Structure 1
Amino acid sequence: MYLGLDLGTSGVKALLIDDKQSVIGSGTGSLDVSRPHSGWSEQDPAHWIGATEDAIAALKASHPKELAAVKGIGLSGQMHGATLLDGNDGVLRPCMLWNDTRSHAEAAELDGNPIFRALSGNIVFPGFTAPKVMWVKNNEPEIFAKLRRVLLPKDYLRLWLTGEHVSEMSDAAGTSWLDVGKRAWSDELLGASGLDRSHMPSLVEGTAVSGTLKAGLAARWGMGNGVVVAGGAGDNAASACGMGTVAEGHAFVSLGTSGVLFAANNAYLPNPASAVHTFCHALPDTWHQMGVILSATDALNWYAGITARKPAELTGELGDTLRAPSGVTFLPYLSGERTPHNDSAIRGSFQGLEHASDRASLTQAVLEGVAFAFRDCLHALASAGTRLDRVTAVGGGSRSIYWLKTIATALGIPVDIPADGDFGAAFGAARLGLIAAENADPRAICTQPATEKTIEPDKGLTADFDAAYRRYHNLYPALKGVQS
């Protein structure tokens, strides 16, 4: 048996698979996000451990024998979080999460130093780890003075599981401190942030062994000694491993809290000016590119809260037949935006409201706004040298067929729906645990699922969606002018 642990923003998922990669069972533990000020987003790392304990306790209650047979554990986690530790591995402050944008000034300062784009292959976004640490240096100097180690969220879990300070390439690539082409920490980038390698964990590939499970935890969970913990992956790379998106030409669109248009690459192809993320993949000698939007299902969940309806109820009101855009346009910039704008200060908007605008038309506008944000990402990927001719849909939002029809038509490419199964980040993490435990061939393990259904673009609505996208595209500079 092999266990995948996925530390997300809203919870931890523990997933068990067997040697045939069949899902045996799963458990979850919930998490909350603290937003004490506009643009802030934090979690207490102690809550990650509590949620992991809850997830594994659920698995132990339902599948004790199978849990006892675990040989390898893989980790997946939300990226970019700054978990700051003192010399005794004590947590110095709440972790600033991936969607915390308070460090926009620090990000701009670091990005103004040309070595960051040259070596990291990416813009220094406010959500990345380095500017968060610089914000602490500038605003909480007493905390920075005690700082001895910076860990990413899943790597703090690893520390609790194994006692080791270790990260891996895909997650480290989102810090702005990794030389992504060389797959190694950069002394120059760390020095420009007032840090050095002593503040960093060691690095392994995502398929490699990073340590073994502590004897006390193994005994508590009913496992044997010598359970290995794989390097694992950042959440998007882990999802790619789960989906088998590990070879050139394979891509997926992820409708999670944030949204990702992800493409695997066999070579390092940086193009920071496009605002596309170019990161190491979890597999050795493999990279990937991503267009990232900060609010995908988060936008629909926000609107659901406003209307006091469940998201599935809102999308269900639209029926099964794709509608032409109504003229109402939604910009989903609830937390700012990454690709293609790199703008942490921009905020969302409805435009074109009239007396006839009802709840369904606003729901439709929210779905279209997210789809058009993905279209921005599609264009950005093309400018970075990656052209996509189809994508596979993953994430909670992919349960809405109407939304997938909207995305297929907005992007102008087919969207594949995988056959029933759990192919997300926890499954990808479990696959990495299997590879590390058995020294297996990564590409033989990370295969693609069968396609259950393909949603083709509605060519009869192409012109309508093109016109609606032009309105969407033209609104950003107008909105920025009003908000600046």
Structure 2
Amino acid sequence: MKYVIGVDLGTSAVKLLLVNKLGEVVHEVSKSYPLIQEKTGYSEQDPEEWVRQTTEGIKELISTSNVNADDIEGMSFSGQMHGLVLLDENNDVLRNAILWNDTRTTQQCEEIYKKVGKERFISITKNLALEGFTLPKILWVKENEPELFAKVKLFVLPKDYLRYRITGNLEMEYSDAAGTSLLDISAKQWSEEICKLLEINMAICPPLVNSYDNVGKITPSFALQTGLAESTDVFAGGADNACGAIGSGILTEGKTFASIGTSGVVLSYEENGDKDYKGKVHYFNHSAPDAYYSMGVTLSAGHSLEWFKNVFAEGEDFETLLSEIDNVPVGSNGLLFTPYLVGERTPHADSSIRASFIGMDSSHKRRDFARAVIEGITFSLNESIEIFRENGKIIETIYSIGGGAKNEAWLQMQADIFNATIVKLNSEQGPGMGAAMLAAFGIGWYPSLEACAAKFLQEAETYQPILSNVEKYHSLFRIYKRVYGQTADINKELMHFRS
């Protein structure tokens, strides 16, 4: 049997999947690494941690899987989007990577609109200028660390740097480049206009490749450190959301998924780059050939639940924490949560907004709060689905992946709030599986990603909306949407009291 490795470089850990030709995950390893958060709104990581933990993880994967390394034919990557890695003339890292969930760049976003023009910027990039994206981070370093910025030869994204350390080659693929705010999405090339207006040397933009392109073989030193064969082919990979789409079979028009990880994503396939959402949702190049996708993002989805567990159920696992939510009625007994712990992305591009519990009284138990957190996360995702539907997309079936697919009550809640059939896949590995599929397609195991998906992905369970719940949630959703407008100014004033 032959195998590929899917490397999913996430925000908190790297996950490694060993997948055979039948699409079966025969072994997996996860290695975590820390965030560096020195100030409110700051989020960084040491790129060396990605390399160290991936190297150790692959070494463990090989040594514990009982698979011959010569039978592992290829590997590819899924990576956290938008993170800025700056390299000098020797391709050495100049500073910690600034991550997607870093929100220090509000001033730089305003500068982009002032110099490029908001409408012109959206017409080129198909997206708003947001704090989480890469371009504002480049401008922040340029303005606040000018001596360091003068040494910059190239910028890359997290998985690109990891791949460089594995192959010795530097490039960026289109699905991740689309999230930098420097790519002309339709033309699939770096925007000379944006670079010129913002006084950025285009030479720091790396060469562009397709997600399924072969970008070389692993280096002899990486082979020695991990036990992989030097013959292992390496493929460029994709942005985590693009890979999540591939790993969920979102490869034809109308297919949509909801992914709940640290952040939450609703993603829908687009056949071309011509649709105009006017920046209300993201619009990126897909990792699939000649395709695109639209996407809404909740910045603090699974992070909201993890925060709640750490603060109110320290030492318990998620299964225990959520064991009673099915006994709480729709609406959590009048308790509402908005998941704005680190700001929000869709539909409110607001780095200052913060989370709220609304409607608390002394009758509420922990189980009510737990259900309210789950409902609030799902309401936030539903705001993206509402935008898609208002723009003519027909969304009747949604594939659920990530943490939201691991709890039956939450899956039914998604069906009720989204008013759609929810499908859980047999394997909900999402981005890691998508990375493995890019390697399988790149090697030539299958003639297309669609053919690969037909072999690798099977539906396990479906959840239908319950009409009475749909009606209750429809009313509650209207209330939920009012909370942002009524708390935005209050939260801006409260920011002055944060350290």
- For 2:338, give the aligned amino acid: L
What is the aligned partner in structure 2 of residue 243 from structure 1? Answer: 248
Change (3 A) 1:2 1:390: same
Task: Please point out which of 436, 439, 446 is paired with 1:430.
Answer: 436
2:170 & 2:222 partners in 1: Cα distance?
A: 17
TM-score norm. by structure 2 comes to 0.93
2:393 & 2:89 partners in 1: Cα distance?
A: 43
Superposed displacement of residue 325, structure 1:
3.9
1:78 & 1:208 partners in 2: Cα distance?
A: 19
Q: Deviations over 1:233-270 (max 9, x none)?
A: 00011111111111111111001110000111111144
Q: Deviations over 1:427-468 (max 9, x none)?
A: 111111122222742321133722222111121122321221
Residue 208 of structure 2 corresponds to residue 206 of structure 1: no
Moved more, 32-41 or 458-467: 458-467
What is the aligned partner in structure 1 of residue 495 from structure 2? Answer: none
What is the aligned partner in structure 2 of residue 107 from structure 1? Answer: 109
Aligned partner of residue 237 in structure 1, secondary structure: helix
What is the aligned partner in structure 2 of residue 411 from structure 1? Answer: 418
What is the aligned partner in structure 2 of residue 162 from structure 1? Answer: 167
Q: Deviations over 1:112-159 (max 9, x none)?
A: 423321111111111000001111112111221111110000000111
Q: Is the 8 A contact 2:74 2:440 kept in 1?
A: yes
| Residues 308-319 of structure 1 mapped to structure 2, 5 A cutoff | 308=314, 309-319=316-326
Superposed displacement of residue 274, structure 1:
4.7
Q: Deviations over 1:372-407 (max 9, x none)?
A: 101111112234443311101100232011112222
Structure 1 gap segments, 5+ residues each: none
What is the aligned partner in structure 2 of residue 332 from structure 1? Answer: 339
Q: Is the 8 A contact 1:261 1:292 kept in 2?
A: yes
The runs of at least 4 aligned residues of structure 1 exceeding 6 Å deviation read none
Task: Please point out which of 441, 450, 453 is paired with 1:443.
Answer: 450
Change (3 A) 1:58 1:222: closer
Residue 464 of structure 2 corresponds to residue 456 of structure 1: yes
What is the aligned partner in structure 1 of residue 485 from structure 2? Answer: 477
Q: Deviations over 1:311-370 (max 9, x none)?
A: 322211223686344211111001111110111111111111111122111111111111
1:422 & 1:408 partners in 2: Cα distance?
A: 17
Aligned-CA RMSD value: 1.7
Change (3 A) 1:391 1:322: farther
| Residues 6-405 of structure 1 mapped to structure 2, 5 A cutoff | 6-112=8-114, 113-114=116-117, 115-307=120-312, 308=314, 309-319=316-326, 323-405=330-412
Identity %: 34
Superposed displacement of residue 160, structure 1:
0.2
Aligned partner of residue 65 in structure 1, secondary structure: coil
- For 1:76, give the aligned amino acid: S
TM-score norm. by structure 1 comes to 0.96
2:275 & 2:350 partners in 1: Cα distance?
A: 20
Superposed displacement of residue 16, structure 1:
1.2
Question: How many residues were matched structurally?
Answer: 483
Superposed displacement of residue 417, structure 1:
1.2
Superposed displacement of residue 202, structure 1:
1.0
What is the aligned partner in structure 1 of residue 4 from structure 2? Answer: 2
- For 2:404, give the aligned amino acid: G
1:197 & 1:69 partners in 2: Cα distance?
A: 41
2:122 & 2:271 partners in 1: Cα distance?
A: 20
1:343 & 1:275 partners in 2: Cα distance?
A: 13
